[in-house]
């Protein structure tokens, strides 16, 4: 199994010098839902470079959902005023921006916009805001 994972990432251009690190991280899983080349092509569309530290995360996020699901999430973010370039920029910084369920994305975006008073563009600059329990974190700071 490990050999197949390492071969997959080597074949898509992940730097050979970084392959041993996959053995010591939980990032070394292979995509299961679609062909590896299709997933990498989609990651390429989002502009994540193969030698980026986020490349494996981006492949895992894209590999965990169908292309139609990815497109639906893009449309969901557009409904909050994000452009395609905003979404691509957010994904490059934090690939998990597309990993959440539609419901969690809506809840978190609504909270950040209505309660915290962020503008949607502010969230695109710091997409990691979309992870974790924001309400608990913000309430703890008060």
Whole-number percent of the chain with pLDDT over 90: 46
Rounded mean pLDDT, 101-122: 93
Range of weakest confidence among 22-26, 73-77, 99-103, 106-110: 22-26
d(CA 120, CA 81): 7
Q: pLDDT tens digits for 23-69?
A: 544 444 445 545 667 888 889 999 998 888 888 889 888 888 888 99
d(CA 40, CA 12): 7
Average pLDDT, the chain: 81
> Could you tell me the pLDDT band of residue 84, with boundaries at 50, 70 and 90?
very high
Q: What is the pLDDT of residue 101?
A: 92
Q: What is the pLDDT of residue 51?
A: 81
Q: What is the pLDDT of residue 135?
A: 52
Which of these, 62, 34, 36, lies nearest to 48 by C-alpha position? 62
Q: Where are the domains of the chain?
A: 1-64, 66-142
């Amino acid at each position: 199994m490990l050999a197949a994972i390492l071969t997959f990432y080597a074949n898509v251009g992940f730097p050979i010098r970084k392959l041993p690190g996959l053995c010591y991280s939980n990032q070394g899983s292979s995509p299961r839902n679609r062909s590896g080349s299709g997933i990498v092509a989609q990651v390429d569309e989002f502009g994540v470079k193969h030698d980026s530290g986020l490349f494996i995360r981006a492949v895992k996020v894209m590999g965990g959902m169908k292309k139609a699901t990815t497109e639906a999430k893009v449309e969901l973010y557009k409904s909050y005023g994000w452009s395609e370039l905003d979404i691509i920029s957010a994904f490059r910084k934090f690939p998990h921006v597309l990993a959440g369920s539609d419901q969690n994305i809506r809840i978190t975006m609504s909270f950040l916009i209505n309660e915290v008073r962020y503008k949607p563009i502010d969230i695109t600059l710091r997409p990691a805001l979309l992870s974790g329990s924001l309400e608990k974190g913000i309430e703890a700071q008060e």
